[in-house]
Structure 1
Amino acid sequence: MSEPADRSPPPGASGEGRVSVVGTAHVSEASVQEVETRIAEDRPDIVAVELDEGRYRQLQGEEPEDLDASDLLKGNTVFQFLAYWMLSYVQTRLGDQFDVKPGADMMAAIDTAEEHGIDVALVDRDIQETIQRFWARMTITEKLRMVGGLAFGVTDSRVVGIMVGLIVGLLAGPVLALFGGTLGITDAIYLRAASAAILGLGTTLVVDQIAGLTLGGDQRFAAALGSGGAIGLVAAAFGFADGLFGTYLGGFTITIVGSLALGLVGGLLFGLVAAAIIGLRGSTQPEAGGMDEMDIEDLTDADVVTVMMEEFRQFSPGGAEALIDERDAYIAHKLVGLRQAGYDVLAVVGAGHREGIEDYLANPSTLPPMDSLVGEEKGSRLPWGKLIGIALSVGFVAFFILLAMAGVQDGFLLRLFGAWFLINGIFAAGFAKLAGARWSSAGVGGAVAWMTSINPALAPGWFTGYVELRHLSVNIGDISTLNSLLSDESKPIGEIVSEMFEVPMFKLIMVVALTNVGSIIASILFVSYILPQFGTELGGVEGISRLMLDGARNSAELIWSTLR
């Protein structure tokens, strides 16, 4: 399959050729039949298909190549891959719903062309380049909306609610520890919450092990969680364990556990309410003309496609430009080149691209330069995340330097740094292990977490991922495996999640992500819990502020005396 530039003009060709465009639905059986009929009737010189080299090889059933570790461990590349995976999953679900393999229209075009001895041209832009530009063009809000919208569409509402609740709770816990006093939360309330949480968690773990002997899947989960929740509620209502835990736990531990327990309970209640709302919305009858009632063949109708494209354009103008408009222009460039070379071409493209491509074919002078359609998109927006990370790094280093310049003893600073090192290491390594990382991988992530937490250019998950990759073989075929698992409605959620963690690509991403999450949580806990405890030795917030001002003054005097 050669590039257009490698082809010789067809025998007897004079002047320009012509291009006919067929718009198809990638999951439509009728589209397959239409493509086969058109090629047999028109007998063009070339059949051009909306594929790049990578997707063509994948449709041909070639073995996927192993991924380069650096590709999956780069921050933005991971998110681009997730976007690609989600888009692939949606297309796979549509194919399953209508019993057609995604890309069957393109394979029909290729197979039929080969049967008739017709050359095939791949005219689409590389998918990785398209996804990179698509992701770079989207705003932060659009990215969150896209990921959240797809998650709500393909994930059980209970799972979504629990995940949202855990996130809200982990953020709310430290806030309660800092400002709980102003909200009327006393030490007695923290003690009651801590006692209930410890008893409830302990009961959950014990019942989980016992239930595992006779139950499985969702039943085991429900038994463990129900038992732990019931014991926790009884302990919270009657406080029969307050005296025991109050005797053996220090005030600092009670504040940490109690505030986190209150935050998580509140967060989970919020998540359950959100899940109920999502569930109610999901159980409503679809509107007339919705996807469930629409014949899949209607997807090739121009009016329907126009509506769908315009809805996506309103959702993300930048994303639509990279995913739709730029590809229209790129494909049109390729087709114009073939036409100018004197070929008669039948172009098989998705229905959503047909109108844009035909407009460019009718007015080639309106085509943007090819150079503007290829290459990595850098984006023009300010990197707020990096700027915030740099500010935090500078603030952290300045905090230690100013205290040292104020004359704070080295022993105090060493203990403070030790606490920072330990809490980051424990949480980063612990979360990595929770994702299934090996002890060596989790240990490396934990060891560097203290440093990466204050350096926006690094992340502990990268280090954990590189070590974990020594024992994993990751390839593009893992996407198909993940799609099959997510499409299986016969298995309980717990079993599906467990099997997903056995897929190397998913396991690697989760190990990297959870290592980073653990370090972030550790940083929040350090600022919320640990630092205030150390601060009491220096006179609280007022004393620390005074020392930092003294440190700044001493630093200024030292610099001035050095320059004089």
Structure 2
Amino acid sequence: MVDHISCNGKKIILIGTAHVSRQSAKLVEDTIHEQTPDKVCVELCATSLASLKDADRWRNMDIVKVIKEKKALLLFINLLLASFQKKMADKFGIKPGQEMINAINAAEKINARIVPSDREIQITLSRVWRGMGLWEKLKLMFSLVFSFGASDDINEEDIEKMKQEDILQTLLADVKKTHPIIEKTLINERDQFLAEKIRSAPGEKIVAVVGAAHAPGIKKYLAGNEKIDLDELNIIPPAGKTGKILKWAIPAAIFLLFAAGFLMEGKSAGTDMIWIWIAANGIFAGIGAALALAHPLTIASSIIAAPLTSLNPMIAAGWVSGLVEAFSRKPKVKDLEAIPEDIVSIKGFWRNNVTRILLVVIFTNLGSTIGTMTAVPLMLKMIN
């Protein structure tokens, strides 16, 4: 799909593509060679563009830094999305994002400047995450995990139909029906961002390569000719008040529950409540780490840490176990290099030392949460 648009005295050639389509990749290359634009705008953020051009980008990843900066979950989601796209691309013999690769190569051949025009993926995912409740977040994770098998049933005709959807939309089709934040953040906001970056790109003739799902929105905002505030679209909303309150209220309520046990039922009951708390949190966190095939030291650390971290709003059991796993099985260069291939299969996620660390963080935190939900009702039963 190619549209010719006039905007602010510029000629914009907008190409709507499917991200794993041979036809789209060829269309992009042919159009750039025919039009010889001054600039080529691509639906990539600056980080993604650098990663696409750097085949060894995984070697530079610091997994310990990722855990300390609390970005393990975002990285995991990124890898799941990359896995889905790569599985489909491998199935049809085309590299993920081949149309973007073609755009970059074609632009370099005619000495046209490449303009990364998308919002940073971390900002987009953070805005989605901050706009969702706990239940919505759980549904989002399940949707992404179950997407592992989704690509096995997709044929080449379906790939062409995907020109009408963003790849994130495809993965989150069921979730987005009931959660407008996904449609708003993944599509509408990025339509605005892309439109403004394309409109403000210097040059008289511009070729813009975007996913077809964004083309209608971009055309609408370009036609409106109203300046869009990119700074506002880059703001990561603060955590919701409810989350902040619960972050401190739950530990406070647990301490009050302990106190009530001692005061109302005596020392023996209060002590039993503490042991219930320790056992439930420790056991379930340990099970979570074990399911991620963590190192024995990591499993032990999750069992010890979970009862304490569940009462500390500033730290999570998964961060402790993730760091222990990172130091117990320090990822090697071969693990970093193998990430693109290992993320294609579930087995690969567990086999690779880097991705297994992410699983340890997520599963330990999930186990600790289940432990808390199990312990509280048992403790309440002890207070008559």
Unaligned runs of 5+ in 1: 1-14, 157-282, 487-495, 536-540, 543-564
Matched residue SS, 2:74: helix
Q: How does 1:212-231 map to 2 (within 5 A)?
A: none
Aligned equivalents of 2:128, 2:249: Cα separation in 1 = 29
1:394 aligns with one of 252, 256, 265: 252
Matched, 1:343 2:204: yes
User: What residue in structure 1 maps to residue 17 of structure 2?
Assistant: 24
Q: 507-516 vs 136-145, which deviates more?
A: 136-145
How far apart in 1 are the matches of 2:141 and 2:370? 22
Assess, with a 3 A threshold, how the Cα gap between structure 1 residues 447 and 344 changes in structure 2: closer, same or farther.
same
Question: Deviation at 1:437?
Answer: 2.8
Aligned to 1:451: 308
1:465 paired with 2:290, answer no
- Is the CA contact 2:248–2:313 (under 8 Å) kept in the aligned structure 1? yes
Are residues 1:480 and 2:340 paired?
Answer: yes
User: Per-residue displacement from partner, 1:101-133 (whole Å, max 9, x unpaired)?
Assistant: 111111111111111222222112112112222
Q: Flag the 1:515–1:18 CA change in 2: closer, same or farther, 3 A.
A: same
Shift of 1:142: 4.2
Q: Does structure 2 conserve the Cα–Cα contact (< 8 Å) formed by 1:441 and 1:468?
A: yes
Tell me the CA shift for residue 521 of structure 1.
4.8
The change in CA–CA distance for 1:104 and 1:413 in structure 2 (over 3 A counts) is same
Which has the higher Rg, Structure 1 or Structure 2?
1
Partner-residue secondary structure (3-state), 1:345:
strand
Q: Distance in 2 between matches of 1:140 and 1:478?
A: 33
**Equivalent residues of 1:427, 1:522 under 8 A apart:** yes
Matched position secondary structure for 1:357? helix
Sequence identity percentage: 28
Match of 1:135 in 2: 129
Looking at structure 2, the residues matched to 423 and 142 of structure 1 have their Cα atoms a distance apart, in angstroms, of 25
Report the CA distance shift for 1:147/1:429 in structure 2 as closer, same or farther (over 3 A). closer
Paired with 1:376 and 1:420, the residues of 2 have a C-alpha distance of 35
Which residue identity is paired with 1:83? I
Aligned partner of 1:508 in structure 2 is 357
C-alpha distance in structure 1 between counterparts of 2:215 and 2:189, whole Å: 13
Alpha-carbon contact 2:325-2:357 (below 8 Å) kept: yes
- 1:183 maps to none
Going from structure 1 to structure 2, the CA distance change for 1:451 and 1:92 (only over 3 Å counts) comes to same
Q: How does 1:544-555 map to 2 (within 5 A)?
A: none
**1:43 and 2:36 equivalent?**
yes
Structure 2 CA distance for aligned equivalents of residues 428 and 27 of structure 1: 39
CA distance in 2, matches of 1:317, 1:113: 37
Whether the 8 Å CA contact 1:132–1:376 is kept in 2: the answer is yes
1:440 paired to 2:297: yes
- Output one character per residue of 1:476-517: Cα deviation in whole Å (capped at 9) or x when no partner: 76652333324xxxxxxxxx3xx4322123311222233334
What does the per-residue CA deviation read over 1:406-459, in whole Å, with 9 as the maximum and x for residues that have no partner?
6934x6645653554355445534543453333433333322322223344432
Q: In structure 1, what is the Cα distance between the partners aligned to 2:182 and 2:367?
A: 31
RMSD: 3.6
Q: Deviations over 1:206-241 (max 9, x none)?
A: xxxxxxxxxxxxxxxxxxxxxxxxxxxxxxxxxxxx
Q: How do 1:251-330 and structure 2 match up within 5 A?
A: 292=155, 294=157, 296-300=159-163, 304-305=164-165, 312=173, 314-330=177-193
- C-alpha deviation, 1:355, in angstroms: 1.7
Shift in CA distance, 318/414, structure 1 to aligned 2, threshold 3 Å: closer
Q: Matches of 1:406 and 1:139 in 2, distance apart?
A: 35
1:115 to 1:429, Cα distance in 2 relative to 1, 3 A: same
SS at match of 1:20: strand
1:85 aligns with 2:79: yes
Q: Secondary structure at the match of 1:465?
A: helix
Distance 2:239 2:265 in 1: 46
Superposed, 1:54-133 pairs within 5 Å as 54-60=47-53, 61-64=55-58, 65-72=60-67, 77-133=71-127
Conservation of the 8 A alpha-carbon contact between 1:429 and 1:443? yes
Q: Tell me the distance in 2 between the aligned counterparts of 1:66 and 1:128.
A: 15
Structure 2 SS opposite 1:44: coil
- After TM superposition, the structure 1 stretch with the greater mean CA deviation from structure 2, 321-330 or 86-95, is 86-95
Q: Amino acid of the residue matched to residue 483 of structure 1?
A: I
Report the number of matched residues. 368
What is the CA-CA distance between 1:49 and the residue it aligns to?
1.3
2:222 aligned to which of 352, 361, 365: 361
Aligned CA distance change for structure 1 residues 480 and 397 (closer, same or farther; 3 Å): same
Letter in 1 for 2:220: D
Could you tell me whether the CA contact under 8 Å between 1:134 and 1:319 is conserved in 2? yes
Aligned to 1:125, the other structure's residue is in SS state coil
Contact 1:425 1:519 in 2 (8 A): yes
